[in-house]
Amino acid sequence: MVKQINLAYGTGQLNLNLPEKYKILESTAEERGKIDWQQKIKASFSNPVDSPTLASLVQQEKPEKIVIIINDITRPVPYNIVLKPMLEELEEAGIVDENISLLIATGMHRPMTPKEVEETVGKDIIDRYHWENHKCEEEMVYAGKLSEGIPLYVNPLAMEADLLCAIGVIAPHYMAGYSGGRKSLLPGVCGRETIETHHSLMRLPEAKTANLAGNKFHQTAVEAAKMANLKFISNVIVDSKNEPVDLVVGHYLKAWEKGVELCRKNSVIKIDKLADAVIVSTGGFPKDINMYQAQKALENASYCVKEGAPILLIAECKESLGEDTFEKWLLEAEKPEYLEEKIKKVFELGGHKAFAIARVARKNPLYLYSSMKRGIVQETFMDPVIDINEFVSQLISAEDLVYIIPHGANTVPLYTD
């Protein structure tokens, strides 16, 4: 018996006929369709977590320069839920448009084009407010030294703000435990040296998906947010389908911590058996815009499969590998072991994701269905797949336990034996 499975691929989808016995791993938020977002937004902004309302903050601090850190194209955000209400409340508090700036947290990603900003944030917003891309190579403001000896260099626009706010998405993250909150500041709007030194903490065993305990990557990001005086956040919580299921507003840490608890319920899926094979989609664009982003889904898939079992990643990667250093590390490595040794000697941002792929490739044979050329795919320690049904018939037996993860970037399988 077969059933049709629809998996996101770029901005479209693949319609696959796969055996009915394959188990789909995704959370189900039964109340999603019943959410009254207008009421939830009103309640959240009227009663922020461990913080005065925005209107009260404006009244107390009388800020002349307000900066709101927003996400770049690689982090899809429902701006009508998290940003528009923030702007509306500031307007009602008497803040004029000229006193508000939007700073796009690119980290070390490429800048967004004006067209991309218009399409994602909305023409009505970018026409009203000053906005700019963070560019990590430009001159930053030194804010002090973090734990682990990390120098904190921050975008001058953020440091000059009288009131610094941020919007974002809380979802599982393969180094920080969870995205959102403090990550808007670090790495979002920090200098290259800060980001690279901070990311070197990913080599520590505690820096992994859905884990905060002892996670220095997370802890130093919290320090950075406090040092840079990040004051107020609005973060949406998404489930494994990347659909918004809740909202937290308020204190940069306390509101985010509440959001993390909600995220755990919607994105972490407990399993009692490891699979003989896994088929994982990132969840489509922008999660599969390039391999640099798609790697996160591969990491999550590795948590639910036996060692030596195949993993098939479905990711369009229309922008190919997506980052120069990432590409350089992959192209110079003949075997995964090379990168595992290299990262012990030198850490380069971009190379860290090549290492993350190599770490999985050491344990499992990897396959990729994408739009990339065959030679490039093979440089990622993966074998290209042209026909998914042929892959299934050749590499998976009828007795195998197979997991399908439709939204791999936001789904974290947790194995408990």
Q: pLDDT value at position 42?
A: 96
Residue type, 288: D
DSSP letter string, 14-55: EEEEEETTPEE-----TTGGG--HHHHHHHHHHS-BTS--HH
Give me the CATH code for the 2-26+272-415 domain, please: 3.90.226.30
Q: Using an 8 Å Cβ cutoff, are 94 and 57 in contact?
A: no
Rounded CA-CA distance 3/1 in Å is 7
Match 């956040």 to its residue by tokens.
233
Beta strands in 277-335 (DSSP E): 277-281, 311-314
CA angle, corner 335, sides to 334 and 341, nearest 5?
110
Which residue intervals of 346-415 are DSSP H helices? Answer: 351-361, 374-378, 388-395
Q: pLDDT value at position 283?
A: 92
Rounded CA-CA distance 80/87 in Å is 10
Mean pLDDT of 139-152: 96
Q: Using an 8 Å Cβ cutoff, are 133 and 188 in contact?
A: no
- Facing residues of 248 across strands? 235
Count CB atoms within 10 A of the CB of residue 271: 17
Q: pLDDT value at position 29?
A: 55
**Which residues are CB-neighbours of 174 under 8 A, at least 6 positions away?**
208, 209, 295, 296, 299, 300, 356
Tokens of 242: 């990347």
pLDDT band at 116 (very low <50, low <70, confident <90, very high): very high
Would you say the CATH fold of 48-267 matches that of 2-26+272-415? no
Helix (H, G, I), strand (E, B) or coil at 280: strand
Omega of the bond leading into 151 within 30 degrees of 0 (cis) = no
Tokens of 283: 């969840």
- The overall average pLDDT reported for the chain is 93
Rounded CA-CA distance 358/295 in Å is 10
Q: pLDDT value at position 1?
A: 82
How many angstroms separate the first and last alpha carbons of the chain? Answer: 29
Query: Is the predicted pLDDT of residue 75 greater than 80, yes or no?
Result: no
Helix (H, G, I), strand (E, B) or coil at 291: helix
Length of the chain, in residues? 417
383-413 residue pLDDT tens: 999 999 899 989 999 899 999 999 998 899 9
Q: Using an 8 Å Cβ cutoff, are 236 and 79 in contact?
A: no
Residues annotated catalytic, as ranges: 109, 173
- Facing residues of 292 across strands? none
Q: pLDDT value at position 32?
A: 55
155-170 residue pLDDT tens: 999 999 999 999 999 9
Rounded CA-CA distance 55/165 in Å is 13
Rounded CA-CA distance 116/361 in Å is 34
Rounded CA-CA distance 413/180 in Å is 20
Q: Where are the domains of the chain?
A: 2-26+272-415, 48-267
190-225 residue pLDDT tens: 999 999 999 989 889 899 889 999 999 999 999 999
DSSP letter string, 103-153: EEE-TTSPPPPHHHHHHHH-HHHHTTSEEEE--TTS--EEEEE-GGG-EEE
pLDDT above 70 coverage of the chain, percent: 98
23-69 residue pLDDT tens: 999 876 555 567 899 999 999 999 999 999 999 999 999 999 999 99
Superfamily covering domain 48-267: LarA, N-terminal domain (3.40.50.11440)
How much is the pTM? 0.81
